[in-house]
Structure 1
């Protein structure tokens, strides 16, 4: 007797359909982990946009949010940027706020780490390809084909521990900060339920470096509360260090000599930029009556450190950015463009990129054959990668600035400030973003997406693989400088 084929809807067809989907995903991950990660990230933004467009997500009026505002908020949430085109304290319903709250945590995990977790769920195990995806979030070199040095902050065999660290450190830090913030919010006269919600919102928004505020006045309401502001600064700094650094510190905090070059460069450059930024704001704004000019030295010094912390990607502010002197706006641009640590919730070109460029310039000035830091030699391919990151970032900022300046006819310093803030997923604004026309919002949303996904990941996704060349062309040196 000849066996009858199982018709449509049968178990064999269902299994084959699921198998085909899994094979397609496997092929995509095999060919380009970066493309798969970007696809996951774009899918999350699409889902968040659809949810925020629903009438249930908007407070009061019973009608949905316009597409350009819903998309912008979704991108700003998943990209943990913090720029807004609506009043975050009044526009969204409890459902909309819940979507944004969850989106901030999801986005804070990082595009590649998130893709790894989804790959783990699909395959029920963390295979080599998923490990490659997660490892590339800790080191952009792994996004490219070819051999990668094993002296990395996180090795492939440690990725499972990294993912656990991402989840545990995120929840633990946010929970501790959340508990510490409750008394300050209660002191402002809010009831217990509102205080718990505001504290949870601020703790997540600060650690993920988003910069959203649930109350009408934002951090200004806590301007004289040093405890609350200090918790915010600590939360932002921890989020901006990067999960590889947190991972290393948790394991070897008692033995600094065992820290990798990446950890040492991240910590050193972060501290230097933090102090230098604060001192610069102190000098530039001490006599500005609209910002710090009316305060004493102690208050001005503290707020300068708060400002320096938030310009690294935190996005909170206790003063109006439009009131800063042009010199301070330019300094803020530079700090935002640099951003925080690699594989962190912060954006920008990353502090290690800046450190490598300075090390290269120092080595060239000394006539040294290679870059060195903390007794280790840094290979030249890291320099090429750093230059690529800066050039891609500068190109994205330049193109977006030209387009938005043409659309709005606004002053260049304000446009440049908001564009860099969007690219670096910082969230500070001079007020220009809130008043953008729909076409300007789409341009800024694209800028935020490219900034958060990462210039290296984006470039790796556009190129199928590195090309192998079996010959070398004759060498000739152009005149430089």
Structure 2
């Protein structure tokens, strides 16, 4: 009981759940940085600077996967375990883990704990948050275990790995895949498996499921045969995800078909697999089976857009989220038709959700533009490469054109902040910085503005 009271005293000063989320992720990054800076975390003959430790911890907790050192050669097994542990913490969410700990210690959830868990899991109500958190944890572990089993079996059967090595690689990449982290224990990411459907499709499936978001996944498990009963959140997420997957695959096939640096050297089935894999990865994950630095500039532009959009809400994906994009599309459609309200499938979308979609998109675009400008000043690289790197960090996608190591320390600090902000979201950051919510007790007279 004393431990629970001590925890309450420690975090009692944070009155808004989003403040606790920001602080929780920050503490996880700090603790991870300390662990990665230990000599035991570094492979023999390697040296880890504080910048490298902070960068890697931030990339792991934020599920970005961008690296400035070669993971399999720079880190020891202890360092790799710390990295994948941070990925697991970032994926499940600090507040989800804190809620589980509270349940184990006290056997019950208080109102503040329920609010924190609700803010992290993005559930619509606070009813029975203990059951929701349990489902999130169990579902995550089951999906990671399934992916790890497939990886282990494939590495043993197809590549001659011993059981111990295959199991270690399988568990690491199972966790990294479901959490959309993009960390691998191969120096070329997974380019060595570009034509292996067992590896590529398993990663793609884990990434897509993890990126849909827990509320959507749970609703699909309940009523996947009855799409007419899906909520607005699930409807927008599922159809937008399918549309972007198909669009990305077709566009990458068209633009990279003859590119010798990407798809050009593969057979037709290999090109289709690589294009689909890239389309699934660019919005959130950071795995790459082809060299993204060799993509055509038009493919870089498409990738920028896909990374900025990201995946589903309340999942392991980053970006502004497909639900934000879908809601904005309905807002635009309603405005073009002159309708006073925004309706989605027999449901009316509240004004607060519309404002949040606009704010998230505007803040994200402004942040990306500012950071791109700063990096253009700090580095000699062109706009296409710098913009790609900035969006990859903000959206926690983790892809790169190959310039990450060439960015100066000041640029690395900027990208670290960007990964942190991108993980917990611009709106969450804004809410966390607000000291309190104030209600206006009067209304001002209305005045029409000229727009456009």
Q: Could you tell me the TM-score, scaled by structure 2's length?
A: 0.95
For 1:340 and 1:380, the matched residues in 2 are separated by 23
- Structure-2 change in CA distance of 1:280 and 1:156 (3 Å): same
Q: 1:53·1:66 contact (CA, 8 Å) conserved in 2? A: yes
Q: 1:424·1:448 contact (CA, 8 Å) conserved in 2? A: yes
Equivalent residue, structure 2, for 1:92: 75
Equivalent residue, structure 2, for 1:232: 203
* 2:46 corresponds to 1:58: no
For 1:410 and 1:114, the matched residues in 2 are separated by 41
Q: 2:144·2:178 contact (CA, 8 Å) conserved in 1? A: yes
Secondary structure, in 3 states, of the residue corresponding to 1:314? coil
Instruction: Give the C-alpha shift of residue 264 in structure 1.
Output: 1.4
Map 1:448-459; keep pairs closer than 5 Å: 448-459=419-430
* 2:18 corresponds to 1:48: no
* 2:111 corresponds to 1:128: yes
Q: 2:194·2:274 contact (CA, 8 Å) conserved in 1? A: no
For 2:98 and 2:373, the matched residues in 1 are separated by 33
For 1:154 and 1:185, the matched residues in 2 are separated by 41
> Which ranges in structure 1 are unaligned for 5 or more consecutive residues?
1-13, 140-152
Q: 1:185 aligns with which of 133, 155, 177?
A: 155
For 1:424 and 1:107, the matched residues in 2 are separated by 14
Q: 1:405·1:415 contact (CA, 8 Å) conserved in 2? A: yes
> Which ranges in structure 2 are unaligned for 5 or more consecutive residues?
none
Q: 1:138·1:154 contact (CA, 8 Å) conserved in 2? A: no
Q: 2:4·2:105 contact (CA, 8 Å) conserved in 1? A: no
Secondary structure, in 3 states, of the residue corresponding to 1:200? helix
Question: Pairwise CA RMSD of aligned residues?
Answer: 1.9
For 1:378 and 1:138, the matched residues in 2 are separated by 21
Question: Runs ≥4 in structure 1, deviation > 4 angstroms?
Answer: 118-124
Number of equivalent positions = 451
Map 1:300-315; keep pairs closer than 5 Å: 300-315=271-286
After the TM superposition, which of the residue ranges 214-223 and 195-204 deviates more from structure 2?
214-223
For 2:380 and 2:103, the matched residues in 1 are separated by 48
Superposed CA offset, 1:113-160 (max 9, x none): 344445545654222222222222344xxxxxxxxxxxxx54210422
Superposed CA offset, 1:186-230 (max 9, x none): 222322221111111111111100001112332112122112111
Equivalent residue, structure 2, for 1:146: none
Q: 1:162·1:243 contact (CA, 8 Å) conserved in 2? A: no
Q: 1:165·1:243 contact (CA, 8 Å) conserved in 2? A: no
- Structure-2 change in CA distance of 1:201 and 1:453 (3 Å): same
Q: Could you tell me the TM-score, scaled by structure 1's length?
A: 0.89
Map 1:213-252; keep pairs closer than 5 Å: 213-252=184-223
* 2:246 corresponds to 1:263: no
After the TM superposition, which of the residue ranges 357-366 and 457-466 deviates more from structure 2?
457-466
Equivalent residue, structure 2, for 1:391: 362
Q: 2:390·2:415 contact (CA, 8 Å) conserved in 1? A: yes
Instruction: Give the C-alpha shift of residue 468 in structure 1.
Output: 1.2
Instruction: Give the C-alpha shift of residue 89 in structure 1.
Output: 1.1
Instruction: Give the C-alpha shift of residue 466 in structure 1.
Output: 2.5
Secondary structure, in 3 states, of the residue corresponding to 2:343? strand
Q: 1:110·1:343 contact (CA, 8 Å) conserved in 2? A: no
Instruction: Give the C-alpha shift of residue 480 in structure 1.
Output: 0.9
Computing the radius of gyration over CA atoms, which structure comes out larger, 1 or 2? Answer: 1
Secondary structure, in 3 states, of the residue corresponding to 1:210? coil
For 1:103 and 1:330, the matched residues in 2 are separated by 31
- Structure-2 change in CA distance of 1:338 and 1:19 (3 Å): closer
Map 1:39-438; keep pairs closer than 5 Å: 39-61=23-45, 65-120=48-103, 124-139=107-122, 154-186=124-156, 187-438=158-409
Equivalent residue, structure 2, for 1:38: 22
Superposed CA offset, 1:439-463 (max 9, x none): 2211111100000011111111011
Q: 1:28·1:36 contact (CA, 8 Å) conserved in 2? A: no
